[in-house]
Amino acid sequence: MRKLLSALILSFSIWSVFSCRQENNVTVKQYPMFWTWLDYRPGMNFDSVCQVMNDIGMDGIMLNAPTPDDYRIAIPIARKHGIEVYAWLWTMNLEHDRDKILAEHPDWFSVNRNGKSLADTTAYVDYYKFLCPALPEVREFIGEKIKSYCEVEGLSGIAIDYNRLVDVVLPTTLWPHYGIVQDREYAAWDYGYHPAMLEKFKSRYGYDPREQQDPSADIKWRQFRCDQITEVANMIAGVVHSYGKTMAASPFPTPKMASRMVRQDWGKWNLDIVFPMVYHTFYTEDVSFISDCTVENVRDKNDKTVLYCGMTATDGPEMFECMDAALNSGAQGIAVFTVAGLRSSEVKNRFKAYTDSVRAVRAANGGIIEAVHPHVADTNPFTHKGIMASVEKRMRRIVAEASGKEELPPLALGEYKQTESYDATRCYRVSDENSRTVFKVTFYFYGDVLSGWDVVAE
């Protein structure tokens, strides 16, 4: 992991990483390279946002606006600053038209394994109102919505979001917020059981997945729901491409993780660009998560799709560690959630130097950023030094709280011994000789990537 200490060191470092030419001489269309997501509201000072983006080297924006007419106002402002605008649109989860569809079509909404519909049930938060992708009328509704945005002159593309089902598994750092543990798939959060979906599956495979002892272990049933979402994505892509616009999406971190966590097999989507949301702070809280996911994405994405990496904004040095991790591992650009998180003048200046350097390297390398030292994702938690440092810090905090002290004590850990392994979960037991505390350490591997961890005292 490179730590870039100045614009001069930064430029040299990135050049040394990315100056190799691609041997197969592939030509890649030059899309904007540095992006942000942004909510647009009528009356906001959008010009000032675009000025900040221009100042730090961002040239693409995924904009979420209430109506097509709002884009007609925003696009000329963005163009003045050299910024391309994509419509950032929610698809399976409703947003601006939520109340209207709830009132008019309550039968359109997704159903969980317990038979509860989102028309009258809450999953995690009130705004989770996902539709059933198996319904033809839902697909028609989404297709017409996409058309209305594609007709906006000057809009460069469509970037879909929430094109999935409800999270059957949340990122691990969110579990305490909801008071849950999702070490496996549980019925309350397992969606896709709408009667239309079940009937469609049964007509193809000859059985009802609810008849299985554990429907979550039925690979056919999982893949079938993924395929319904894929069909919606590719229907949207057909519409977008018919208007001569670019098709993009913001899915979960990797195709394998996404299929397990939200039934989203995005490697099969007909995308021009993909911005996987590799938000390491939601998962392992370590930058290695970004490189592991990006390596997997290079392997598993659609061959015709240009890979970017979506990450959370950090107003400090970690922002550049994150971007290095993505670009070193095969990403062709970065999307930051959001530009507002880059607040300090020092970080903004450094971000500008970074973007200038990377663009120069891409231009010199025939429009390609080469991955350096390609590797496979490391699934051994004990070789992830950053993660293990966080695990031990959590242990020290547990010991300090138990003793009523503020200072974190040193540890004298014995050997980690595996006690259980099931689904995507591996459990270990380890003792601290200093405090005589026994810890249970759990690692999660959704999508074959180290995707989360937890520590408790037994």
pLDDT, averaged per 10 consecutive residues of the chain (458 residues), comes to: 32 37 50 97 96 98 97 98 98 96 98 97 97 98 98 98 98 95 95 98 97 94 98 98 98 98 98 98 97 96 97 97 97 97 97 97 91 83 97 97 94 98 96 98 95 96
Structure tokens at 29: 């269309």
Burial, 88: exposed, middle or buried (Cβ in 10 Å; 0-12, 13-18, 19+)? buried
State which fold the 7-364 domain adopts: TIM Barrel (3.20.20)
CA proximity to 20, closest of 365, 418, 271 = 365
Per-residue pLDDT, 129: 98
Per-residue pLDDT, 398: 97
Q: Which residues have C-beta within 8 Å of that of residue 269, sequence separation ≥ 6?
A: 230, 233, 234, 237, 249, 251, 302, 305
Per-residue pLDDT, 448: 87
Phi, psi of 39 (to 5 degrees): -85, 125
Per-residue pLDDT, 37: 98
Pairs from 128-132 (Cβ < 8 Å, separation ≥ 24): 128/93, 128/166, 129/93, 129/94, 129/98, 129/101, 129/102, 130/92, 130/93, 130/94, 130/162, 130/164, 130/165, 130/166, 130/191, 131/92, 131/93, 131/94, 131/101, 132/108, 132/192, 132/194, 132/196, 132/197
- State the Cα angle at 309 between 304 and 315, rounded to 5°: 160
Strand order, beta sheet including 309-312: 306-307, 273-274, 246-249, 157-161, 84-90, 60-64, 34-39, 334-337, 309-312
**Residue 231 CB coordination number (10 Å):** 15
Per-residue pLDDT, 373: 66
What's the pTM?
0.92
Question: Which pairing describes strands 417-422 and 60-64: parallel, antiparallel, or unpaired?
Answer: unpaired
Per-residue pLDDT, 227: 98
**Alpha carbon distance 51, 56 (integer Å):** 9
